[in-house]
Amino acid sequence: MPENRKYLSYMSDEKLLDAIEKLYRSYQKAFASKTLKDLNKNIIDPFKFQFDTEFLHGGHPEETLRSEIFRQSDKTIANAIGLFHQQLLGSIDGFEESPTLPCDVRKTDDTIFAEVKNKYNTMNVRSAAGVYDELAGLAKSYPKAMCYLVEIIAKKSTDEVWSITINEKKQSHQRIHKISADRFYALATGRKNAFEELRQALPQAIHDFLNTQAKEASLANDNSSLGAFDELTETSAAYGTSMTETIYRLALSDYYKGD
């Protein structure tokens, strides 16, 4: 086992901490201070805003705005976490991320190729067919290689031939498998509990990373919604309306309101 590894035997501390840092930067960017204009680019649903404010947040629109920021940032964060898992798999000893091949991760001896998905339900039929075709191309080009669709959050622990229906025709290949993260980590590292070891190591690694930050690193109490809240307050005062009514005005400004 490599020496001086604090967290995992099959991955350097530097690579694990780098993956955590990149994910943290993605969180910072996603939850950076936003203006009211930023939030309303996709038009805030004013009805939901009103109900959320009254039903969930005790009549406090600032909390509703904070929730809206989280909602709008959710897809960005989900994508960032997917890249985090891809980077981790590419950091396992003997593996690397694969920017030049139609897959996310490869074993450096070209015997394993993998496409990584964060959750089992992240692909629709068309995107699944595209991934399968790419893996099928790799299986053809590398006759000794195994090709995997890796699901970090799978329905169950599995390693099975991936069967898929494309244009109403069922297709499968003995060297193209769908595999859960626990099975893939075990395969890649030769350690049956490698994925659990990662899960157990993450809290300490995250804690150590946060302790290296020059300022308070936690985003839990970030006031990223306050800029938008101040703007909403000023706009409401200018209109002479409540904050919720201002959200309605912003969302439905072009709607017919009668003579």
> Token pair 């307050």 is at which residue?
233
Q: Angle 181-189/61-91 helices, nearest 10 degrees?
A: 30
Structure confidence at residue 216 (pLDDT): 47
What is residue 2's predicted lDDT score, i.e. its pLDDT? 57
End-to-end CA distance of the chain, in Å?
79
Calculate Rg over the CA atoms of the chain.
23
CA angle 42/43/44 to nearest 5° reads 115
Average pLDDT of each block of 10 consecutive residues along the chain (259 residues)? 83 97 91 80 91 95 87 90 97 96 97 96 93 97 98 95 93 97 97 96 94 60 64 88 88 72
Three-state DSSP state, 105: strand
- Tell me the C-alpha distance between 87 and 81, whole Å: 10
10 Å Cβ neighbour count for 194? Answer: 23
Query: What's the pLDDT score for residue 224?
Result: 55
Q: How far apart are CA 96 and CA 11, in angstroms?
A: 11
